[in-house]
């Protein structure tokens, strides 16, 4: 992209998804960092008149700080492609595939990456009886940030799914063990973080200050760290991701390398004060402003 002073950046934030509040926090932080780096920045709330807002703003490049449906599922990427505006992170196809958990798991498995068994089932069937043997996890097939998660343990009754949940949900064998994550920036993995919580890594643990502790780099054997980096890179490439992505793992230490499985890949990792990818970038000597600037310089159409 052009030099900072002559480059106008539109930061997309907010939007309509269940992760609107997270996106507003990510967007505000990214906008402030880019202004500090010398860019001409405007902030745009991605509501239904988004194309008109973009036309009025006439940016040189778009920083996509949206999370959840319509922001990281290929929809807004398609609008930006149609408008011919260079943008950050992954393109239409990679975004759509990553947001579809069932499809992305099929792609990972075809690439030889370890995933756990899962099925898609109607919520009425899930509430009526166990559709797979407990323990298992029930979650939307196309949401992030641990929105709408049910964990069913041995001996539990079938979960009574809330009315506002989608009609079809993913039911996934519960993966025990430690919570690990690896970000990929361009063509390199940034290392491994272990996430420590008192319970499980739910929405509050992710975004409430003090809700979780992050160990960077994770205190794990070298072969497990190497495998996380290798798997994250391979997952990023298998989906055709661009820019920044983050792959989440569970690792059952009692099983060694066989206990490491991919949970999912996020093409729009959080950029809030408690987020993991900026923390991993910092551990590699890259400030938050440097990370945002890298993403702007990497932006393009046809992603």
- Is residue 19 among the annotated active site residues? yes
Catalytic-residue membership of 43: no
CB 83 within 8 A of CB 294: no
141 classed as catalytic: no
| CATH 3.40.50.1820 is the classification of domain 97-114+176-285 | no
Phi first, then psi: give them for residue 48, nearest 5 degrees: -55, -20
Convert the pLDDT of each residue in 111-167 to its tens digit: 999 999 999 999 999 999 999 999 999 999 987 645 679 999 999 999 999 998 999
If pLDDT is split at 50, 70 and 90, which confidence band does 13 have?
very high
| Per-residue tokens: 125 | 């069937």
Please give the model's pTM, rounded to 2 decimal places. Answer: 0.92
CATH of 4-89+290-298, one of 3.40.50.20, 2.60.120.260, 1.20.140.10, 3.50.50.60: 3.40.50.20
Helices (H) and strands (E) in the chain, counts: 10, 13
Contact 149, 199 (CB under 8 A): no
Q: Which of 246, 259, 277, 298 is catalytic?
A: 246
Q: Which of 237, 228, 113 is nearest to 179 (CA)?
A: 228
User: Is 172 marked active-site?
Assistant: no
pLDDT band at 208 (very low <50, low <70, confident <90, very high): low
**What residues does each domain of the chain span?**
4-89+290-298, 97-114+176-285, 118-173
The alpha helices in the chain, defined as continuous H runs, are 20-36, 50-57, 75-83, 92-99, 101-110, 123-128, 203-207, 222-239, 276-283, 288-298
In the residue annotation, 248 being an active-site residue is answered as yes
């Amino acid at each position: 992209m052009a030099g900072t002073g002559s480059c106008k950046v539109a930061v997309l934030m907010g939007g309509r998804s269940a992760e609107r509040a997270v996106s507003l926090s990510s967007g505000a932080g990214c906008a402030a960092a880019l202004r500090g780096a010398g860019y001409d920045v405007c902030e745009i709330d991605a509501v239904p008149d988004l194309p008109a807002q973009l036309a009025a703003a006439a940016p040189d490049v778009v920083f996509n700080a949206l999370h959840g449906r319509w922001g990281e599922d290929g929809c807004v990427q398609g609008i930006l492609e149609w408008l011919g505006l260079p943008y950050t992170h992954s393109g239409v196809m990679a975004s759509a595939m990553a947001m579809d958990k069932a499809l992305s798991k099929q792609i990972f498995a075809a690439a030889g990456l370890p995933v756990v068994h899962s099925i898609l089932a109607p919520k009425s069937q899930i509430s009526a009886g166990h559709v797979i043997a407990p323990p298992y996890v029930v979650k939307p097939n196309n949401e992030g940030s641990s929105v709408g998660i049910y964990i069913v343990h041995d001996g539990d009754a079938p979960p009574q799914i809330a009315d506002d949940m989608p009609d079809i949900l993913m039911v996934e064998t519960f993966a025990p063990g430690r919570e690990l994550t690896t970000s990929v920036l361009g063509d390199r993995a940034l290392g491994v973080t272990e996430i420590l919580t008192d319970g499980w890594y739910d929405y509050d643990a992710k975004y409430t200050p003090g809700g979780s502790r992050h160990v960077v780099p994770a205190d794990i054997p070298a072969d497990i760290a190497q495998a996380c980096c290798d798997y994250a890179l391979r997952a990023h490439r298998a989906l055709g991701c661009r820019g920044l992505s983050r792959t989440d793992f569970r690792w059952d230490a009692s099983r060694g390398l066989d206990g490491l499985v991919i949970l999912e890949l996020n093409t729009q990792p959080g950029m809030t004060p408690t987020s993991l990818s900026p923390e991993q970038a910092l551990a590699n000597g890259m400030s938050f402003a440097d990370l945002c600037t890298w993403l702007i310089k990497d932006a393009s159409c046809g992603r």
